[in-house]
Amino acid sequence: MKIIRPQGILIDITRCLGCGQCVEACRTLHGQSPEPEPGARLSASDRTVVDERYSQPVRRMCMHCLDPACASACPVAALRKTAAGPVVYDASRCLGCRYCLQACPFDVPRYEWDQPVPSVVKCDLCADRLAAGGLPACVEACPAEAAQFGPRDELIAEARRRIADDPTSYHPRIYGLEEVGGTSVLFLSPVSFEELGFPTGLPSEPLPDRTAVAIERVPGIVGVGALFLSAVWWITKRREEVARAEGPAEPPRRRRPDPPETTGNEEEHHV
Amino acid sequence: MSERNLRRRFWASFAWLTLGLGLAIVILRFQLGLGAVTNLSDQFPWGLWVGFDVLCGVGLAAGGFTITALVHLFHIRRLEPIVRPAVLTAFLGYVLVIVALVIDLGRPWNLWHPLVMWNPRSVMFEVSWCVMLYTAVLALEASGMLFEHLGWRRALTLQKAFTTPLVVAGVLLSTLHQSSLGAFYLLSPGKLHPLWYSAALPLLFWISSVAAGFAMVLVESRLSGRAFGRELEMPVQRLVGRMLLGALVVLALARGLDLAVRGVLAHVFDGTYEASLLQLEVTLGILLPIVLLSHRRWRARASGLWAAGLLTVFGFVIHRLNVSITGFEASRGATYIPAWTEIVVSLALVTAGFLAFRWVAAHLPVFPPRALARVPDRARRWTR
């Protein structure tokens, strides 16, 4: 899939006031009361939250990976990366295997554990609004321009500019630039990302590369396996036929004779 | 009432009680959602039903492909008497895995979706296809017993004519999905503890499934001895024991080499929670049975083989649970302990497996009479 100028969000934690209007906008859009659930963790009703556990208020949301582990994991392509940037979910395809939750390196997807017909819940970057030419609800709601929407390459240039202009206020790293092959949501921070609870040890290659190695072996295993098994079948069969034709030869020699037969019930007398 | 009768009654009541309770829990699960009867969470989206029912269920059914391959492709005729019990175990095992999936999946009525909605990049997609196809292969392999029982000669002849291609297909499909169960976890670097996370997980899963398959044949032989008063002849059991030994030695080398190459061998002895669990699974499931099986004194005895088989199975189960559950605890910052309701459902599935095997074995020609040794009467417990 060729992705042409995918869109994304740049979240600048140095500008975030922690007011929570992004969360309210997101909840309202999805038909919930504006007040988020206590604890400020992503949940089946909170697709984004402002996490207050650290020195800075930190937005949490789906990172919209460029090559998402969740989408590669999904057996029925209920999750997929769109060319425009969002990673979207189609509940009507979903089996409910939850491999996406298991696979996500950022622990984003949530599940409706208390529903008889459960769905995976996660931010879809307001894909419908984007298609209609609008902005993600959270970006639109932000009063401090802490979230900026645009083509990812422009956001990266903007992030670099901000770091270069004010190196004392910014930690030099753009989070999401390289993590698991890059993400559509990017973060700038005044402190190191480790201090804010972001996973910092992630590889810079997309995670689906790792399962691709296994899947690419399938044709080889089938081909070589079928050949090998057929060869074994033919050779051992031939050997059996030859043995039968030659008649009973000398009895096969055993390298080490096993001790005389015992059944399971005799041992009680020995012990 | 005699002691044997009492014991039989106890086990029968226990089995039916477990099944009834399990069914009630499953009904609740479909009315109230997975959260009502499980301790699953967003941190632990996969629990006992995936870790035990699916991962262990599939692995322990591996005897179906190894034994059919040894007899029909490698022409090791001495193993012929165990083909049918192994195929039956595998078939019932896969049916139970599918039942477990229906219970565990959030939307099981979409189970057929992978047939028409493709994502060839997904390991889960590949596993879905392999499990569906292999269950069909096993059904065809097991159908011979039914045809023989019904006296359908032509169907039986036809079925026998397709044995070789069926067995080849079974080995290939099994190799693919047994290893792919390990490949699931390749997506979780940094989440799965480094003692278990490895690029070699698919290969390690495949080798350990081969060992588990042999081990199950030995365990099953003993259980059949108890249930039907007939178990495998000692030479056959011993041969399986030697094969189990071979598989375990290869597994031990592969596990050791994998830990060494990844530079985490030292962590096996650093006394952490994970290290102790790894030691437990390796000692119990690999080293101890190797010791047992390499002493001819023990290998010659039914009880030694039974112990080696049982230990291998235990170690295998611990390994699968370590990879799927405990290996994730540290990175999750959370623990998962299955709810009693999850345990009852898993128990109910195992019970259903035993009852189904016993029922089929009582009605179909599963055990060819000539290769079985009679077990003295006092060891029989379940006979009707």
- pLDDT higher than 60, residue A165: yes
Same domain membership, residue A200 and residue A234? no
Q: Are residues A74 and A157 in the same domain?
A: yes
What's the domain range around A169?
7-206
Q: Are residues A75 and A24 in the same domain?
A: yes
pLDDT on residue A268: 37
pLDDT tens, position by position, B174-208: 999 999 999 999 999 999 999 999 999 999 999 99
Suggest the residue from A41, A211, A237 to mutate for an interface test with chain B (most B CBs closer than 10 A): A211
Q: Report the pLDDT value the prediction gives residue B370, as an integer from 0 to 100.
A: 55
pLDDT at residue B377 greater than cutoff 90: no
Query: How far apart (Å, rounded) are the C-alpha atoms in residues A147 and A9?
Result: 6
pLDDT digits (tens, 9 = 90+) for B311-343: 999 999 999 999 999 999 999 989 999 999 999
In terms of residues, how long is chain A? 271
* pLDDT per residue as tens digits for the range A41-92: 999 999 999 999 999 999 999 999 999 999 999 999 999 999 999 999 999 9
Residue A23 has pLDDT above 60, yes or no: yes
Quick check: A109 contacting B, CB < 8 Å? yes
**Homologous superfamily, domain B14-376:** Formate dehydrogenase/DMSO reductase domain (1.20.1630.10)
Is residue B231 very low, low, confident or very high in pLDDT (cuts 50, 70, 90)? confident
CATH number at residue A161: 3.30.70.20
Q: Which residue of A has its CA nearest to B377?
A: A265
Residues 44-103 of A with CB under 8 A from B: 69, 72-78, 93-99, 101-103
Instruction: Write down the residue that tokens 């969360």 correspond to.
Output: A23
Q: Which residue type is seen at A31?
A: G
Q: Are A93 and B125 in contact (CB under 8 A)?
A: no
Does A256 map to a domain?
A: no
Counting one residue from A and one from B, how many pairs have CB atoms under 8 Å apart?
205
Least reliable range by pLDDT among A53-67, A242-256, B152-166 = A242-256
Claim to verify: residue A180 and residue A219 sit in the same structural domain: no
Q: Which amino acid is at B218?
A: L
Mean pLDDT, rounded, of chain B? 92
Residues A226 and A196 in one domain: no
Strands A7-12 and A185-188: parallel
Tell me: do A187 and A232 sit in the same domain. no
Chain A residues in contact with B45 (beta carbon < 8 A): 98, 101-102, 111
Query: Does A194 reach chain B within 8 Å, measured CB to CB?
Result: no
> Which of A206, A233, A263 delimits the end of a domain?
A206
Q: What is the predicted pLDDT for the residue at B91?
A: 97
Calpha distance B131→B118 (Å, rounded): 15
A200 shares its domain with A225: no
A40 with A49: CB under 8 angstroms? yes
What's the per-residue H, E or C state across chain B? CCHHHHHHHHHHHHHHHHHHHHHHHHHHHHHHCHHHHCCCCCCCCCCHHHHHHHHHHHHHCCHHHHHHHHHHHCCCHHHHHHHHHHHHHHHHHHHHHHHHHHHHCCCHHHCCHHHHCCCCCCHHHHHHHHHHHHHHHHHHHHHHHHHHHHCCHHHHHHHHHCHHHHHHHHHHHHHHHHHHHHHHHHHCECCECCCCCCCCHHHHHHHHHHHHHHHHHHHHHHHHHHHHCEEECHHHHHHHHHHHHHHHHHHHHHHHHHHHHCCCHHHHHCCCHHHHHHHHHHHHHHHHHHHHHHCHHHHCCHHHHHHHHHHHHHHHHHHHHHHHHHHHHHHHCCCCCCCHHHHHHHHHHHHHHHHHHHHHHHHCCCCCHHHEEECCHHHCCCCC
User: Does A262 reside within a domain?
Assistant: no
If you measure CA to CA, which chain A residue comes closest to B167?
Answer: A229
pLDDT in tens, B56-99: 999 999 999 999 999 999 999 999 988 999 999 999 999 999 99
Q: Is the ipTM of this complex over 0.90?
A: yes
Mean pLDDT calculated for residue range A18-40: 92
Is residue A250 a part of any domain in this protein? no
Mean pLDDT computed over B150-176: 95
Report pLDDT for B373. 60
For residue A189, the tally of other CB atoms under 10 A from its CB is: 24
Q: Does A133 contact B at CB distance below 8 Å?
A: no
> Residue B229's pLDDT is what?
75
User: What does the pLDDT look like over A94-122, one tens digit per residue?
Assistant: 999 999 999 999 999 999 999 999 999 99
Q: Which residue has the higher pLDDT, A262 or B41?
A: B41
Q: How far apart are CA B98 and CA A35, in angstroms?
A: 42
For residues B3-22, give the mean pLDDT. Answer: 90
Same domain assignment for residues A144 and A234: no
Count of domains in chain A? 2
Quote the pLDDT of residue B314: 97
Residues A89 and A35 in one domain: yes
A252 in a structural domain:
no
Predicted confidence at residue B2, as pLDDT, reads 74
Domain residue extents for chain B? 14-376
Domain match, A45 and A168 both = yes
Neighbours of A50 (CB within 10 A): 18
User: Cα-flanking dihedrals φ and ψ of residue A27, to 5°?
Assistant: -65, -45
- Res B216: pLDDT: 95
User: Does residue B379 register a pLDDT over 60?
Assistant: no
Q: B26-36 burial, b for 16+ CB within 10 Å, e for fewer?
A: beebeeebbbb
Which of A99, A202, A214 lies closest to B190 in CB terms?
A202
* pLDDT over 90 at A196, yes or no: yes
Inter-residue contact A111 to A118 (CB < 8 Å): yes
